[in-house]
Structure 1
Amino acid sequence: MDTVAQLTIVRHGQSTANVAFADAHARGVAEHGLTGRDADVDLSPLGRHQATQLGRWLATRPADERPEHVVCSPYLRARQTWTRVADTAASLGVTLPPAEIDDRLVDRLMGDLELLTPLMIAERFPAEAHRLAANGLYAYQPPGGETFDHVAARVRAVLTDLNTRHAGRRVWVVAHDAVVIAARHLLDELPFVDLDTIVATTPIANTSLTRYAHADGRLDLVEFAATTHLTGGHHTAPSRQ
């Protein structure tokens, strides 16, 4: 086997920034009250609960469906997610692998625009707001930041290493929605414009699972942004738009 047996990508649980951005948008204001670095944003109470639910769900899965190797973004919210997942499973008698930290799995780097809401960008960097509108979300490169092509290059390198080092094993990646989008771009050979349409229909929810399985020498999508472990409903069907 020349790839991992399964690749499951988990978006981190809801963060305090997710809450603050949503609240600022709902109130139509620019400021969100956040300080510090994006890398240090932690989980919200709901995010901790989501990670707990995922840990409980994993503890109920057969051993041959649980991860054999876990790799995680260095960002606090991602590390907290897996720690809580693993601790919850351990409290139920199930041992999950510790997470290996990989700096290439960080969220999309926004440079000078880090942790700025759209209204904050419009007020402080009006020229950048115009550039973003003109170039589009995926092609736009903020000052000191990345385009999605840059994110995809990082994720490609991670996937290559995982396939080389962990071929035939079940691997979980705990990271960010940008990493999920980059993985779909690479593994499903989908243009970013197509992914924009898919994500508009099926958002990459916090603690959702995107899973691939080995088939005929490649990784095929099994489910996208699934939240069964959070809702008790049915898995989200694979989207091949």
Structure 2
Amino acid sequence: MAGVKALRWLNLTRHGESTGNLAYAATIGTDAEEAGITERDADIPLSDTGRVQAAKLGRWLAALPADERPTRVIASPYLRTLDTARIALAQTPYAAPQDPGGLRLLVDERIRDREQGPLQGLTGLGVRRRFPAEAERMRGLGKFYYRPPGGESWADLALRLRSFYRDLEADAPDERVLVVTHDAIVVVTRYLVEGLSEREILEIEKTPVGNASVSRWRRDGSGLRAVSYNDSAHLTDAGVVAPRVP
């Protein structure tokens, strides 16, 4: 994929834990049909734990060797990703938005989370009970190609990500890029960068992408080579106090 191969480093991180993540977790093992999230998807905030995770991510960024530090940071426009990026960058001495020479946080709507139409906010049980025809269609088409009414399939995500990475190649050739985004975007990026099949990526997706985990690819010859995927080792340190968004 030319738009990705031109980069020197590609780093992706999922946002820190959100209140939406907690709401869905609370429905596990229950007969709830909805997660009970009152905000629109774009406005779901980080939890306290998510803010701590973002700070730890920032400390990891600050400790990177100079030749691996991001030269460009791009975030999804959703609140949980923007706050993750802001908190993380505030921990890094080389990221000073107030300095004309500092690292700016850029925003791109093409790396937002997947649109799910009327299925947004429903549990699996809720989809089966309220939209049985859609649940059946999902089973028939499979997760990669199923598109909810008014929503997006994973294949749709691949289309907008191809556009995102093509533009990134034009704007930031040979740069070290950090993308702060959502779990589905991390997974589909791996599908694109590594040229995986539908079967391969759906097998990988069975292991959830961790909040504030890091996936990295480095240019090696003419393409990008995987360095790590879904790595959360930097989140294991203790004693971090949840910061305010700067």
Q: How far is 1:29 from its partner?
A: 2.1
When normalised by structure 1's length, the TM-score is 0.89
Q: How far is 1:209 from its partner?
A: 0.8
User: 1:1-241 counterparts in 2 under 5 A?
Assistant: 3-89=6-92, 93-95=93-95, 97-200=103-206, 202-231=207-236
Query: For residues 120-170 of structure 1, what are the alpha-carbon distances to aligned partners after superposition, in whole Å with 9 as ceiling and x for unaligned?
Result: 212221211111122221111100011111100111111111122111110
- Aligned letter for 1:37? R
Query: For residues 168-203 of structure 1, what are the alpha-carbon distances to aligned partners after superposition, in whole Å with 9 as ceiling and x for unaligned?
Result: 110011111111111111111111221121232x43
Q: How far is 1:50 from its partner?
A: 0.5
Gaps of 5+ in 2: 97-102, 238-246
Q: Which has the higher contact order (CA 8 A, sep 6+)?
A: 2
Looking at structure 2, the residues matched to 111 and 38 of structure 1 have their Cα atoms a distance apart, in angstroms, of: 11
Structure ranking higher in helix proportion? 1
CA RMSD of aligned residues (A): 1.7
Q: How far is 1:227 from its partner?
A: 1.0
- Tell me if structure 1 keeps the 8 A contact 2:35–2:121: no
Looking at structure 1, the residues matched to 117 and 35 of structure 2 have their Cα atoms a distance apart, in angstroms, of: 18
Q: How far is 1:116 from its partner?
A: 1.7
- Aligned letter for 2:171? R
Q: How far is 1:60 from its partner?
A: 2.1
Q: How far is 1:62 from its partner?
A: 2.5
Give the structure 1 partner of residue 243 of structure 2.
none
- What secondary structure, in the 3-state scheme, does the structure 2 residue paired with 1:203 have? coil
**Dislocated runs of 4+, deviation >6 Å:** none
When normalised by structure 2's length, the TM-score is 0.87
Q: How far is 1:28 from its partner?
A: 3.7
Looking at structure 2, the residues matched to 31 and 144 of structure 1 have their Cα atoms a distance apart, in angstroms, of: 19
Give the structure 2 partner of residue 238 of structure 1.
none
Using the aligned pairs only, state the percent identity: 40
Give the structure 2 partner of residue 236 of structure 1.
none
Gaps of 5+ in 1: 233-241
- Aligned letter for 2:222? G
- Aligned letter for 2:226? L
Q: How far is 1:71 from its partner?
A: 0.8
